[in-house]
């Protein structure tokens, strides 16, 4: 089993997308990259803690590659918008890949560079690629939020 952590805007839709991937064995939404221990949603929403809303993905590398997870990450958001996804604005909604080891770091950078060279975007990719820090699990009502409301099958 392995772990990957991604921030791509509001974590509800991002989590739903990763839950559909064969080989993903679990997901949790939470906060990473900030300065406050055990932040609440209300803390993170102040845009003062430095945390990003993230999805922690547990996966079986025998069934799904990290590169395949990176493809999902790039497809579920616009990596050219700084601290914003759709109507959500703030550093907590930034595009970020938190790597857990050197192999993930190298794969993330190579993936970003391939995407940048592809011509898919006219603006530069602003996605951060940084070491994973403490994952703070979000409140239970955020976990599988869209699924609990019968919306997990909608496109994001």
The model's pLDDT over 53-84, given as tens digits with 9 standing for 90+, comes to 999 999 999 999 999 999 999 999 999 999 99
Whether the CB-CB separation of 25 and 106 falls below 8 Å is answered with no
58: nearest Cα among 109, 94, 106, 100: 100
- Identify the pLDDT of residue 155: 42
Sorted by sequence, the CB contacts under 8 Å of residue 74 that are 6+ apart come out as 111, 115
Question: Is a pLDDT exceeding 50 seen at residue 154?
Answer: no
Q: Where do the domains of the chain lie, and which CATH numbers do they carry?
A: 2-148 (3.30.1060.10)
pTM for this model (two decimals): 0.93
Candidate list 10, 44, 69, 70, residue with the active-site label: 10
Per-residue pLDDT of 95-142, as tens digits, reads 999 999 999 999 999 999 999 999 999 999 999 999 999 999 999 888
Q: Does 10 participate in catalysis according to the annotation?
A: yes
- Identify the pLDDT of residue 91: 96
């Amino acid at each position: 089993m392995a772990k990957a952590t991604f921030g791509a805007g509001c974590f509800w839709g991002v989590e739903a997308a990763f839950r559909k991937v064969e080989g993903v064995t679990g997901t949790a939404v939470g906060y990473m990259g900030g300065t406050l221990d055990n932040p609440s949603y209300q803390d993170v929403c102040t845009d003062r803690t430095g945390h990003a809303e993230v999805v922690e993905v547990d996966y079986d590398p025998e069934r799904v590659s990290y590169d395949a997870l990176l493809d999902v990450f790039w497809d579920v958001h616009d990596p050219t918008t700084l601290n914003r996804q759709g109507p959500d604005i703030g550093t907590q909604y930034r595009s970020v890949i938190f790597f857990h080891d050197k192999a993930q770091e190298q794969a993330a950078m190579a993936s970003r560079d391939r995407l940048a060279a592809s011509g898919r975007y006219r603006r530069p990719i602003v996605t951060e690629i940084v070491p994973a820090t403490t994952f703070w699990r979000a409140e239970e009502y955020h976990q599988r939020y869209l699924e609990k409301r019968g919306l997990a099958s909608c496109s994001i």
